[in-house]
Amino acid sequence: MHIPPPPILAQLLSISLALSAFCTESLSTYYSINLPTTQSSLVYLLLSLHVLFLLPSKRSLSNPANYPNPPVPPPPTTSSAHTFPFTKLPLQVPWYIYASLSFLDVQANYLVVLAFRYTSITSIALIDCTSIPFVLLFSLPLLHATFTRLQIAAALVCLAGLLLIVYADTHRHGPAANSPDPLKGDLLCLFGASLYALNNVLAEKFVKTYSRVEYLAFLGLFGTLISTVQIAVVERDALKDFLTTAPPPAILLVAGYVMSITSFYIGVSLFLQTSSAALLNISLLTSDVYATVFQVFVEEFTPSWLYFVAFAVIVGGVVTFNREEREEREGIEGRENKGRADSDSDTAILVKEAGLSDCV
């Protein structure tokens, strides 16, 4: 499978995220429909289908080639291998770890989608803004990441571009004048941003260390189970109303959300195999610009010139951050190759000296 370069893949992910935000805002604005857990449960259900691709490769844990992304270190081959509850299906990671990740992810999606009920898309932009410092913060202890001054400066440049978008949105719609509870919506955005940041950092650790397909499969499986319980508790009546009264356009918007976010999850797992969660979150800042593009065609909205300036500023910051990350990665690989070469050279010298000694 051909995977686009990280910068291009990141923009495809940004478009998917923008499409999901547009669908959610349209559901809330035009149809007064807000089903955060139900929408996410359909995404998790589709992700859980990765189990079908995973099952054939579970027949032999002793062969790392069975895994789409071979784990480091190799999976255990003893009887103490982790298994899925009530089955003999082996796992690389304990099932309760996947359950915990799924719970955090379900709540992050719930908070973000719920925020559209209380505030405008202008405030939802806070999700992009606040997730970046959270990602940088979580990456330090969990991934032992380091960031150069230029990378931090590039992140700040991207945030400046986002502020331009927020400013343009504020002057377009007014300061959330039509929102029922802007403060509550903003707080939901902040909590959702922190959970998204944590999930992205943990996802990077999992897809680089273990199987990417196993991660998606059991994130989806446990996410479906948790979402089902949560729907029964908090969304049962709202879901019943939707199933009985929802017009066809609303159903299409839900389908658009589900397909775009499912594609987003799969694309993120591919992106994080070769790049960082920090670069991912910085790259996703362009999603606000793409959301504006959707509004141009659907709502015949004429964007402010500030959107184009903001897009250029954000792309400039993303390119700078990506270049620094690539150079740092190449530098690490170069030092590792040099170390191996020096080790091989020393071994060859020792072997040669041992041979001369035997001759004598």
DSSP secondary structure letters along 250-285: HHHHHHHHHHHHHHHHHHHHHHHHHS-HHHHHHHGG
Q: What is the pLDDT of residues 27-48, one digit of tens each?
A: 988 898 989 999 999 999 999 9
- DSSP for residue 74: P
Q: What is the structure's pLDDT at 305?
A: 78
Reading the block at residue 317, the tokens are 């910051």
Are 44 and 220 in contact, with CB atoms under 8 Å apart?
yes
What does the alpha-carbon distance between residue 224 and residue 217 come to, in Å, rounded to a whole number?
11
Are 223 and 105 in contact, with CB atoms under 8 Å apart?
yes
What would you measure as the largest C-alpha separation in the chain, in angstroms?
Answer: 95
Measuring CA to CA, which residue among 273, 283, 272 is closest to residue 323?
A: 283
CB atoms within 10 A of CB 44: 26
Are 41 and 201 in contact, with CB atoms under 8 Å apart?
no
Low pLDDT (below 70) residues in the chain: 1, 54-80, 119-130, 165-166, 169-183, 295, 298-303, 329-360
Are 290 and 14 in contact, with CB atoms under 8 Å apart?
yes
Reading the block at residue 177, the tokens are 């004048």
Cα→Cα distances 215→34, 42, 81, 93, Å = 28, 17, 16, 9
CB atoms within 10 A of CB 354: 10
Instruction: State which amino acid sits at residue 4.
Output: P
Q: What is the structure's pLDDT at 62?
A: 40
Are 114 and 173 in contact, with CB atoms under 8 Å apart?
no
Domain chopping of the chain, boundaries: 11-74+81-359
Q: What is the structure's pLDDT at 60?
A: 45
